[in-house]
């Protein structure tokens, strides 16, 4: 299972060559988007047409939501890290999902996620 963060999905949706090549190379893997990632992508839409197009593109991917236990653990992590590290609410929810699923989070936003305990972060391709 490959769990993708918003920045990786933006590259894929924009047709960024390295992102598309990487996605093709992992086509045998189950690619999963946290529901919060989809919501962040929708937040970036400028109009309903863009939103509708985005939702069509997202249909290619599995969307998952955290269960109650993940939510409870995310609350503990958020309360520990928000003031000391400025860690964002959505980042903690996404990061804790990856921890609880036992998978790496594919992202380039290392700074956002590095304070989350036991989270493995992986840059899926080179952006350079």
Non-local CB neighbours of 9 within 8 Å, separated by 6+ positions: 33, 37, 41
Residue 27, pLDDT score: 85
pLDDT cut 90: percent of the chain above it: 97
Please say if the pLDDT value at position 86 is more than 80: yes
Please state the domain extents for the chain. 2-122
Non-local CB neighbours of 125 within 8 Å, separated by 6+ positions: 18, 19, 21, 22
Residue the block writes with tokens 């939702």: 55
Per-residue confidence band for 118, with pLDDT thresholds at 50, 70 and 90: very high
Please say if the pLDDT value at position 127 is more than 90: no
Q: Is the pTM of this model over 0.85?
A: yes
Strand 105-106 vs strand 121-122: parallel, antiparallel, or unpaired?
A: parallel
Residue-wise pLDDT tens digits, 56-73: 999 999 999 999 999 999
Instruction: Write down the architecture of domain 2-122 according to CATH.
Output: 3-Layer(aba) Sandwich (3.40)
Residue 45, pLDDT score: 97
Please say if the pLDDT value at position 128 is more than 80: no
């Amino acid at each position: 299972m490959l769990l993708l963060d918003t920045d990786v999905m933006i590259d894929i949706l924009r047709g960024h060559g390295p992102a598309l090549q990487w996605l093709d190379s992992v086509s045998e893997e189950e690619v999963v988007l946290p529901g919060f990632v989809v919501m962040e992508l929708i937040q970036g839409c400028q109009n309903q047409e863009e939103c509708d197009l985005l939702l069509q593109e997202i249909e290619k991917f599995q969307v998952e939501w955290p269960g109650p236990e993940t939510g409870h653990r995310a609350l503990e992590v958020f309360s520990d890290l928000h003031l000391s590290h400025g860690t964002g609410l959505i980042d903690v929810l996404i990061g804790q999902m990856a921890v609880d699923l036992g998978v790496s989070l594919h992202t380039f936003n290392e700074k956002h996620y590095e304070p989350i305990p036991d989270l493995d972060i992986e840059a899926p391709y080179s952006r350079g």
